[in-house]
Each structure stands twice: as structure tokens, then as C-alpha cells.
Amino acid sequence: MNVITIENVSFSYETHDVLERVNLIIKKGEFLAILGSNGAGKTTLLKIILGDLKPTSGTILIFNEELKNFRDWTKISYLSQNATSNVASFPTTVKELVASNLHSELGLFRFLNKIQKEKIKKALELVGMEQYQNRLFSKLSGGQMQRVLLARSLINEPEILILDEPTSALDEQSSSSLFALLKTISKEKQTTIVISTHSQECSKYHCDKVLNLDSVTLMEQGK
């Protein structure tokens, strides 16, 4: 099943062309890495998929529906490039942060019921952070913060997970373990993952497809 279809998408900021005729099909459960040097358009492409930017030309289909008509955004989770720094100075516990993505389910005064508590526990277990529920988010290491934010993105069991350079502030070991975790999630949960990254390791060892925006080429791993 095609989850995201990008057909002849181009984008320019005023006179500067950023993306030119990008074509791509991402299927359910696939793990796609978008590579490219700084300014190649990785974040721009993600923003186009999320409907934040309108392409100059071309079409985007999400679950075979044109992006402009697509409404079910709860199927998509997004982890922005600066998510960690946005939250790092905020007084919030890991549990509060992960629970925040259950927003639409929570009642007026935000008390969590048994099912929601179980969801939080499961999401944190998935990323190996279940013992940190009551810790202050800002007291965690960079790698742990990314894992908690990932748990927050996963709590609603999204069908598509989009991550913009999630390892930019992590050391090699933490990055490697995060990529491995994403690969497990894409295989076990059949979650479609789209990630923008500079990491060659991710593109070589973990993902199914690589879109290189420097040369606008698409490679399928192991094929």
C-alpha cells in the first residue's frame, strides 16, 4: 500500500530553486532516509509532506488522498529538528510530556485514566525509558531526551512517523541505538518512517530506501 506519493514536486524560495522534480513512493512499513548537504531541501521536503509549505509544482498524496484534502493528521507524528531544545528548558516530567500527545483523549482537568497510563508505560517501554516516567525531562541526557520524544510521537501509534535530523545533537553511540530502534519500530509495528539525516550509517545499515537530494536519486537498500 502506498502511504506517501510524491510526484514531480518542485519548490523554490523566491528565485532560489530548492527542490526540482522529486518523485518518490513510500510504502507501508518502509523506512526512508532523506540525505543531502545543508540547504539541499531535506527539511523543506518534510514540511511539504506535512502541508506546512506548498510546492511550486507537483502533487503529494497521503494514503492516496491529495494533501490538500487530507484531514486525518492523527495518523502522522512529527519530531522537529529543534524539538529537544524547545522542551529542554520547560518544567515538565517525562510522563507529562508523553501524555501531552494524548491531548484529544484527555478530559477537562487532564486526569489520566488507567488505559492512558498503560499507553504511556508501553510507549516508554518501547524506547527503553519506562523507569524515567517521573524524572524531569531537562535532567535527561540528549539521547534519553530523543527517546522520550520518540515515545511521545509513538503513543498514538501513528501510521507515519516523520523525524527531522533527530540525531543532530547526539553522539555516535546514541545515534546508532536510535536508528536501530527506529528500524525495529518500522518492522514490528509496520510504521512508515521518514527521516532526514546526514548519517551515512543510517542510510547504509538501517533504512529501506535512501533519497539523496544532492543528486535527486533514489536508492533501494538490498536491491
Partner 1 sequence: MNIFDYAFMQRAFIVGIALAVIIPLIGLIMVLKRSSMIGDTLAHTSLAGVAAGLLIGFNPIVGAIVACIIAVFAIEAIQKKLPKNRDLGMAVVLTIGISVAGLLSTHIPSGMNFNSFLFGSISLVSQNDLILIVSIAAVILLVFLAIVKDLYLITLDERMAKLSGVKVSIINFIFTLLTAITVGIASKTVGALIVSSLMILPAACAMQFEKGFFATLFISIGFGLLYTIVGLVVAFYTDQRAGATIVLIGAIIFVVVVLIKWLINKIRLHKLGTKNE
The residues of the shown chain that bind partner 1, judged by CB under 8 A, are: 73-74, 76-78, 80, 83, 86-87, 90-93, 95-97, 100-101, 103-104, 106, 108-110, 136, 138-139
In angstroms, give the least distance from the CB of 77 to partner 1: 8
The C-alpha cell of 153 is what? 510521537
Q: 165 or 208, CB closer to partner 1?
A: 165
Q: Is 217 helix (H, G, I), strand (E, B) or coil?
A: strand
In angstroms, give the least distance from the CB of 217 to partner 1: 30
Q: 4 or 35, CB closer to partner 1?
A: 4
Residue-by-residue DSSP string for 148-208? HHHHHHHTT--SEEEEESTTTTS-HHHHHHHHHHHHHHHHHS--EEEEE---HHIIIII-S
In angstroms, give the least distance from the CB of 127 to partner 1: 17
Q: 196 or 203, CB closer to partner 1?
A: 196
In angstroms, give the least distance from the CB of 136 to partner 1: 5
List Cβ neighbours of 90 (8 Å cut-off, separation of 6 or more): 137, 138
In angstroms, give the least distance from the CB of 104 to partner 1: 6
Q: 101 or 146, CB closer to partner 1?
A: 101
Q: 152 or 209, CB closer to partner 1?
A: 152
Q: 25 or 106, CB closer to partner 1?
A: 106
Edge-first strand order for the sheet with 16-27 is 16-27, 2-13, 57-62, 65-66
Contact 161, 30 (CB under 8 A): no
Q: What does R_g of the chain's alpha carbons equal in angstroms?
A: 18
Contact 32, 207 (CB under 8 A): yes
- What phi and psi, each to the nearest 5 degrees, are found at residue 156? -90, 10
In angstroms, give the least distance from the CB of 208 to partner 1: 25
